[in-house]
Amino acid sequence: MFAFRSSPHTHGRRDTGWIMRQVMLAAVPAIAIMLWQFGFGVLFNLAIAMGTALLVEGIMLRQRQRPVRFFLKDGSALLTALLLAIAIPPTAPWWLTVVGVVFAIAIAKQLYGGLGNNPFNPAMAGYVLLLISFPVQMTSWLAPIGVGELQPNLLQAAQITFSSSFNGQPIDAFTMATPLDSLRTGLINGQTTSEIITQPIFGWVGGSGWELINLALLLGGIYMLSRRVIEWRIPLAVLLGLLVPATLFYAFSPDQFASPLMHLFSGGTMLGAFFIATDPVSASTTPKGRLIFGAGVGLLIWLIRSFGQYPDAVAFAVLLMNMAAPAIDHLTRTRAYGH
């Protein structure tokens, strides 16, 4: 006798919670390198962001009369908090992280109907709000280990996070520009690229510390591809969309444009390519559309970095292409058989 059971007959573990946990796991090596390079402020950013995300998500779900425990378990709020926290400088005051997370969860996610309905990547929406509203705090990075004088321990990092000062001095006295910001400032002041990159902060190819972080994020992205957590088209298109114009213009004028390797391994390039642009909700969903979407993100990153006012343009590029995603999907949808 055969036992007849209703479908589905097989059960997989690839639910939303599993996917979110895999993405967070893939980011762990990069977080460890950030902790090594920039100090314990990274941990405070993560703790404040994740605690705030769970609280705000719970409040919004209760106000919307949704099952709080069920939706909190999917891990989407924690992932949003993690991505925003590692994009914020480790010297950021505690309230800055809170403001960014509240906007990302309450406004960019829950007011649109929660996970699956948000047209914009919540973490990048929160980041752009902070960057436009508080540019000084959002560009105050400590020098990486071996370059700067201040390497705060746990208690010193707590002092910086909760008082925005160190031993009575404003934290601005100990921070410096990122490699991309230094490059942009140098070019504006008439220096050539070859002159600018002689500074210690530029490291080997992408900036001291930053190249290691981007390499770790690249390895995390490869891990997600191997686990089929993300699909290959968007990351590949983002990197090619950035690499092609960077290579062409660098070959034409190497003294006025950054090298392709610097573009790839500086700032948030790998974070954007593998962890941000691949958001299945706010990105394009058709096969051709994903290639167009990713290439658009990469091209916009290069354009804004090279000619715009913001040295690292990942968040702006992603949000602009989020707006274009519905149109891209409409134009690249598969034609139904017989039509």
In tens, the pLDDT along 270-304 reads 999 999 999 999 999 999 999 999 999 999 999 99
Residue 213 sits in the same domain as residue 172? no
Q: Is residue 194 part of a domain?
A: no
Residue 31 sits in the same domain as residue 166? yes
Per-residue confidence (pLDDT) for residue 249, from 0 to 100: 95
Residue 171 sits in the same domain as residue 207? no
DSSP assignment string, 41-54? HHHHHHHHHHHHHH
Per-residue confidence (pLDDT) for residue 13, from 0 to 100: 62
- Give the torsion through C-alpha atoms of 66, 72, 74, 80, to 10 deg: 110
**Among the three residues 141, 176, 211, which one is the final residue of a domain in this structure?**
176
DSSP assignment string, 193-259? HHHHTTSGGGTTTT-TTHHHHHHHHHHHHHHHHHTTSS-SHHHHHHHHHHHHHHHHHHHH-TTTS--
Q: String of b and e for 133-168 (b: at least 16 CB within 10 Å)?
A: ebeebbbbbbbbeebbebbbeeebbbbbbeebebee
Residue 96 sits in the same domain as residue 44? yes
Residue 277 sits in the same domain as residue 143? no
Token reading at 113: 């109907």
- Paired with 175 in beta bridges are 142
Q: What residues make up the domain containing 279?
A: 203-330
Q: Which residues of the chain are modeled with pLDDT < 70?
A: 1-13, 146, 148-150, 173, 336-339
Q: What is the pLDDT of residues 84-114, one digit of tens each?
A: 999 999 999 999 999 999 999 999 999 999 8
Neighbouring C-beta atoms of residue 256, cutoff 10 Å? 12
Cis omega (within 30 of 0) for bond into 170: no
Residue 303 sits in the same domain as residue 207? yes
State whether residue 134 is helix, strand or coil. coil
Per-residue confidence (pLDDT) for residue 1, from 0 to 100: 45
Token reading at 225: 């591809």
CA 217-313-131 angle, to 5 degrees, is 100
State whether residue 170 is helix, strand or coil. strand
Distance between CA 233 and CA 294 in Å, rounded? 7
Residue 163 sits in the same domain as residue 211? no
Q: How many domains does the chain have?
A: 2
Residue 172 sits in the same domain as residue 238? no
Per-residue confidence (pLDDT) for residue 338, from 0 to 100: 61
Distance between CA 12 and CA 196 in Å, rounded? 52
Per-residue confidence (pLDDT) for residue 143, from 0 to 100: 80
Distance between CA 46 and CA 90 in Å, rounded? 10
Residue 19 sits in the same domain as residue 168? yes
Residue 270 sits in the same domain as residue 136? no
Q: Is residue 198 part of a domain?
A: no
Q: Is residue 97 part of a domain?
A: yes
Residue 240 sits in the same domain as residue 95? no
Q: Is residue 196 part of a domain?
A: no
Residue 170 sits in the same domain as residue 246? no
Per-residue confidence (pLDDT) for residue 238, from 0 to 100: 98
Per-residue confidence (pLDDT) for residue 177, from 0 to 100: 79
Q: Is residue 233 part of a domain?
A: yes
**Which residues have CB under 8 Å from 121's CB, separation 6+?**
108, 276, 279, 282, 318, 319, 322
